């Protein structure tokens, strides 16, 4: 196994064989480095003519909406707005009602 560092990114290379039924074996040192265990899920991607395997977890179907790219982009936007103090952080119901009461009293004056 060869280890190469490119701009602080560790690259590990090892030649493996493509077998019947499109099977490959991930070298043990790589599996150990990533903490992979039997029955773990890997996402397979084809990127620029390369097969890339990414360790992943299954998401229950009823929670998949939260992990969609669109929802995550909106989550990032809200976090950025909170960091810039453009919006308030989430409140408990009693806190929100207290703020509304103050606003109502202010508007009555």
pTM beyond 0.75: the answer is no
- Tell me: do 72 and 47 sit in the same domain: no
Please tell me the total count of domains within the chain: 2
pLDDT at residue 4, as a whole number: 56
- Tell me: do 49 and 80 sit in the same domain: no
pLDDT at residue 47, as a whole number: 95
Supply the range of the domain harboring residue 10.
2-56
Mean pLDDT of the chain: 88
Could you tell me what percent of the chain has a pLDDT over 90?
67
Contact 24, 18 (CB under 8 A): yes
- Tell me: do 6 and 35 sit in the same domain: yes
Residue 70 sits at φ, ψ, to 5 deg, of -60, -45
Task: List the structure tokens of 96.
Answer: 């929100």
Task: List the structure tokens of 4.
Answer: 């190469």
Residues 37-69: tens digit of each pLDDT = 999 999 999 999 999 999 998 889 999 999 899
For residue 74, give the nearest of 96, 43, 82 by alpha carbon.
82
Q: In whole angstroms, give the CA distance from residue 31 to residue 51.
A: 16
pLDDT at residue 38, as a whole number: 93
pLDDT at residue 90, as a whole number: 84
């Amino acid at each position: 196994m060869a280890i190469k560092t490119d701009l602080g990114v560790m690259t590990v290379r090892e030649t493996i064989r493509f077998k019947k039924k499109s099977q490959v074996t991930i070298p043990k040192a790589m599996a150990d480095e990533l903490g992979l265990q039997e029955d773990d899920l890997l996402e397979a991607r084809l990127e620029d003519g390369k097969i890339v395997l990414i360790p992943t977890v299954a998401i229950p179907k009823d929670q998949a909406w939260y992990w969609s790219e669109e929802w995550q982009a909106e989550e990032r936007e809200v976090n950025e707005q909170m960091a810039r103090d453009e919006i308030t952080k989430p409140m408990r119901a009693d806190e929100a009602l207290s703020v509304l009461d103050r606003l109502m009293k202010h508007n009555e004056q």
